[in-house]
Amino acid sequence: MNGSFEILKASPLWLMFAVLYVLCIAILHIGRWAFEGHAYNTSFASEYGDIALITIILIGATVLKGQSSVSGVLGFLVFQGTVAGMCLIAGLYSNYFLNAKEVMDIYHNMIVLPLLAYLLLTTVPVIFKYGTPLEKTAVVILIVIWALLGYYDIATGRLDQRTWLHNHGGWPTK
Protein backbone atom coordinates (compact mmCIF):
# COMPACT_ATOMS: atom_id res chain seq x y z
CA MET A 1 0.00 0.00 0.00
CA ASN A 2 1.13 3.53 -0.72
CA GLY A 3 0.78 7.01 0.69
CA SER A 4 -2.03 7.67 3.12
CA PHE A 5 -3.22 4.08 2.81
CA GLU A 6 -0.16 2.91 4.76
CA ILE A 7 -0.84 5.42 7.54
CA LEU A 8 -4.56 4.62 7.66
CA LYS A 9 -3.91 0.89 7.72
CA ALA A 10 -1.22 1.06 10.41
CA SER A 11 -2.79 3.60 12.78
CA PRO A 12 -5.30 2.74 15.51
CA LEU A 13 -8.79 4.07 14.75
CA TRP A 14 -8.94 5.95 18.06
CA LEU A 15 -5.72 7.81 17.19
CA MET A 16 -6.97 8.72 13.71
CA PHE A 17 -10.23 10.04 15.17
CA ALA A 18 -8.41 12.09 17.83
CA VAL A 19 -5.94 13.62 15.36
CA LEU A 20 -8.58 14.43 12.72
CA TYR A 21 -10.98 15.82 15.34
CA VAL A 22 -8.33 18.13 16.75
CA LEU A 23 -6.94 19.21 13.35
CA CYS A 24 -10.33 19.75 11.70
CA ILE A 25 -12.80 20.74 14.43
CA ALA A 26 -11.40 21.52 17.88
CA ILE A 27 -8.59 23.73 16.64
CA LEU A 28 -11.09 26.12 15.05
CA HIS A 29 -12.46 27.09 18.46
CA ILE A 30 -9.01 27.34 20.00
CA GLY A 31 -7.57 29.33 17.10
CA ARG A 32 -10.51 31.73 16.95
CA TRP A 33 -10.22 32.30 20.67
CA ALA A 34 -6.46 32.92 20.33
CA PHE A 35 -6.63 35.16 17.23
CA GLU A 36 -10.07 36.81 17.54
CA GLY A 37 -10.79 36.61 21.24
CA HIS A 38 -13.93 34.46 20.75
CA ALA A 39 -14.24 30.68 20.50
CA TYR A 40 -16.98 29.86 18.01
CA ASN A 41 -18.07 27.75 15.05
CA THR A 42 -21.63 28.41 13.92
CA SER A 43 -21.44 26.11 10.89
CA PHE A 44 -23.30 22.87 11.59
CA ALA A 45 -21.60 21.25 8.58
CA SER A 46 -18.22 22.06 10.10
CA GLU A 47 -19.02 21.40 13.76
CA TYR A 48 -21.09 18.23 13.32
CA GLY A 49 -20.87 17.31 9.65
CA ASP A 50 -17.10 17.00 9.77
CA ILE A 51 -17.56 14.25 12.36
CA ALA A 52 -19.60 12.41 9.72
CA LEU A 53 -16.77 12.92 7.21
CA ILE A 54 -14.17 11.72 9.74
CA THR A 55 -16.34 8.65 10.34
CA ILE A 56 -16.28 7.92 6.59
CA ILE A 57 -12.49 8.13 6.65
CA LEU A 58 -12.43 5.71 9.60
CA ILE A 59 -14.70 3.33 7.67
CA GLY A 60 -12.16 3.56 4.84
CA ALA A 61 -9.34 2.80 7.27
CA THR A 62 -11.28 -0.22 8.56
CA VAL A 63 -11.73 -1.50 5.01
CA LEU A 64 -8.02 -0.92 4.26
CA LYS A 65 -7.03 -2.90 7.36
CA GLY A 66 -8.75 -5.91 5.81
CA GLN A 67 -6.86 -5.64 2.52
CA SER A 68 -3.36 -6.84 1.77
CA SER A 69 -3.24 -4.54 -1.26
CA VAL A 70 -5.41 -2.15 -3.24
CA SER A 71 -5.65 -3.01 -6.93
CA GLY A 72 -6.09 -0.82 -9.95
CA VAL A 73 -5.55 2.88 -10.16
CA LEU A 74 -6.49 3.30 -6.48
CA GLY A 75 -3.29 1.51 -5.49
CA PHE A 76 -0.98 3.82 -7.44
CA LEU A 77 0.97 6.53 -5.66
CA VAL A 78 0.38 8.70 -8.75
CA PHE A 79 -3.38 8.53 -8.05
CA GLN A 80 -2.90 9.71 -4.48
CA GLY A 81 -0.46 12.42 -5.58
CA THR A 82 -2.87 13.68 -8.22
CA VAL A 83 -5.75 13.77 -5.74
CA ALA A 84 -3.53 15.57 -3.19
CA GLY A 85 -2.59 18.19 -5.78
CA MET A 86 -6.22 18.73 -6.77
CA CYS A 87 -7.22 19.12 -3.11
CA LEU A 88 -4.49 21.69 -2.46
CA ILE A 89 -5.62 23.66 -5.51
CA ALA A 90 -9.22 23.45 -4.25
CA GLY A 91 -8.03 24.88 -0.93
CA LEU A 92 -6.31 27.79 -2.68
CA TYR A 93 -9.36 28.52 -4.82
CA SER A 94 -11.77 28.29 -1.88
CA ASN A 95 -9.59 30.66 0.10
CA TYR A 96 -9.57 33.13 -2.79
CA PHE A 97 -13.25 32.90 -3.76
CA LEU A 98 -14.57 32.89 -0.19
CA ASN A 99 -12.37 35.92 0.52
CA ALA A 100 -11.13 34.52 3.82
CA LYS A 101 -9.53 37.16 6.03
CA GLU A 102 -9.40 35.65 9.52
CA VAL A 103 -6.55 33.27 10.38
CA MET A 104 -8.79 30.30 11.19
CA ASP A 105 -10.91 30.77 8.06
CA ILE A 106 -7.70 30.63 6.04
CA TYR A 107 -6.60 27.57 8.06
CA HIS A 108 -9.94 25.88 7.33
CA ASN A 109 -9.67 26.57 3.60
CA MET A 110 -5.98 25.71 3.29
CA ILE A 111 -5.67 22.76 5.72
CA VAL A 112 -9.02 21.28 6.76
CA LEU A 113 -10.71 21.36 3.34
CA PRO A 114 -7.76 19.79 1.44
CA LEU A 115 -7.06 17.23 4.20
CA LEU A 116 -10.64 15.97 4.45
CA ALA A 117 -11.16 16.13 0.68
CA TYR A 118 -7.96 14.14 0.06
CA LEU A 119 -8.75 11.46 2.62
CA LEU A 120 -12.35 11.16 1.40
CA LEU A 121 -11.47 11.10 -2.31
CA THR A 122 -8.93 8.34 -1.71
CA THR A 123 -10.88 6.22 0.79
CA VAL A 124 -14.47 6.39 -0.51
CA PRO A 125 -13.57 4.55 -3.74
CA VAL A 126 -11.84 1.89 -1.63
CA ILE A 127 -14.98 1.53 0.49
CA PHE A 128 -17.17 1.12 -2.59
CA LYS A 129 -14.73 -1.38 -4.14
CA TYR A 130 -13.95 -3.53 -1.08
CA GLY A 131 -16.45 -2.58 1.63
CA THR A 132 -19.48 -4.47 2.89
CA PRO A 133 -23.02 -3.38 2.03
CA LEU A 134 -23.34 -1.94 5.56
CA GLU A 135 -20.17 0.15 5.14
CA LYS A 136 -21.33 1.43 1.74
CA THR A 137 -24.77 2.32 3.11
CA ALA A 138 -23.24 4.09 6.10
CA VAL A 139 -21.06 6.19 3.77
CA VAL A 140 -24.06 7.28 1.72
CA ILE A 141 -26.04 8.18 4.85
CA LEU A 142 -23.12 10.12 6.36
CA ILE A 143 -22.57 12.06 3.11
CA VAL A 144 -26.27 12.94 3.01
CA ILE A 145 -26.13 14.12 6.64
CA TRP A 146 -23.12 16.32 5.89
CA ALA A 147 -24.77 17.71 2.74
CA LEU A 148 -28.03 18.48 4.57
CA LEU A 149 -26.11 20.27 7.32
CA GLY A 150 -24.26 22.25 4.65
CA TYR A 151 -27.55 23.15 2.98
CA TYR A 152 -28.93 24.27 6.35
CA ASP A 153 -25.84 26.42 6.93
CA ILE A 154 -26.27 28.09 3.54
CA ALA A 155 -30.03 28.56 3.98
CA THR A 156 -29.66 30.14 7.43
CA GLY A 157 -26.52 32.20 6.75
CA ARG A 158 -24.40 30.25 9.23
CA LEU A 159 -21.42 30.09 6.87
CA ASP A 160 -20.90 33.83 7.30
CA GLN A 161 -20.17 33.13 10.93
CA ARG A 162 -19.31 36.59 12.26
CA THR A 163 -22.39 38.14 10.64
CA TRP A 164 -24.58 35.30 11.93
CA LEU A 165 -23.22 35.74 15.46
CA HIS A 166 -23.71 39.51 15.31
CA ASN A 167 -27.29 39.17 14.04
CA HIS A 168 -28.23 36.56 16.64
CA GLY A 169 -26.74 38.18 19.71
CA GLY A 170 -23.85 35.76 19.99
CA TRP A 171 -21.09 38.26 19.25
CA PRO A 172 -19.75 39.83 22.43
CA THR A 173 -19.88 43.60 22.55
CA LYS A 174 -16.76 45.50 23.51
Q: DSSP secondary structure string, 79-140?
A: HHHHHHHHHHHHHHHHHHHTT--SHHHHHIIIIIHHHHHHHHHHHHHHHHHH--HHHHHHHH
Contact 150, 45 (CB under 8 A): yes
CA 91 to chain centroid, in Å, comes to: 12
The predicted structure's pLDDT at residue 173 = 53
What confidence tens digit (pLDDT) does each residue in 102-115 have? 899 999 989 999 99
What confidence tens digit (pLDDT) does each residue in 29-77 have? 999 999 988 899 999 999 999 999 999 999 999 999 998 888 888 878 8
The predicted structure's pLDDT at residue 172 = 60
Task: Enumerate the domain spans of the chain.
Answer: 4-167
Q: DSSP secondary structure string, 149-169?
A: HHHHHHHHTTTSHHHHHHHTT
Give the number of C-alpha atoms closer than 13 A to the C-alpha of residue 110, restricted to the C-beta side: 12
The predicted structure's pLDDT at residue 67 = 86
What confidence tens digit (pLDDT) does each residue in 133-173 have? 999 999 999 999 999 999 999 999 998 888 888 888 876 65
The predicted structure's pLDDT at residue 129 = 94
Contact 8, 64 (CB under 8 A): yes
The predicted structure's pLDDT at residue 174 = 47
